[in-house]
Structure 1
Amino acid sequence: MPKTLIAVVLLAVSALAQAGSKSIDLPPDGVQLKPSILPGYAKAQAICAACHSAEYMQYQPPTAARPYWEAMVKRMKTVFKAPVDDADIPLIVDYLAKTYGNEQSK
């Protein structure tokens, strides 16, 4: 292999190695999920809040019914590849509907 080709390959590998070591510092999330004794709360903290702010839930319509929340959770799983187990979907939906949706106790 010619020396110039070796030099180019080494430079490219070095540039890739340096690019992979960068990090991004995000500001702290000022909004937290509303605490609950419902089992879906812990699931939502671990799964939902890992990808987006709890503020996202506050922007949803407070009149949203259970089917709306179920569609949103399934959308996060299928479209955005959220790591949600099928068995956890009803727990998360129950928490969201009762905490942010039309099943809230006033």
Structure 2
Amino acid sequence: MDDDEAAATLTHLAVIQIRAMARRRQPFHPWMGDDYVVCIGWLADLVHNLAVPRGRTRSWRPGRKRSRRMEHTWAVAGEIGRKWITDSLEAEGLVWKPPSDTFLPGERDNRG
């Protein structure tokens, strides 16, 4: 699956999980901790950059075009966010390959 499909799937799953947490007033996954409001915010923050209309690209750094839609989200997700991304896609039976050469904001990009 490509990044556009992964982003769409993850955005959809995040909305479902956010709604579930808001209605049940508890975290969706046990590893998220006890504060469901914090979990809702964390998940919304994780996927907010993914909600870009299909076919459009939005660079997170002026003057730099991203080669992969999920590159920035993967770079800033941290260990827990990356686990949520891979576990969520795997639970849906989907195969997605994460970006291999990701740079965090502020890091020097020596790719040219």
TM over 0.5: no
Q: What band does the TM-score fall into relative to the shorter chain? A: under 0.3
What TM-score, normalized to structure 1? Answer: 0.28
What TM-score, normalized to structure 2? Answer: 0.27
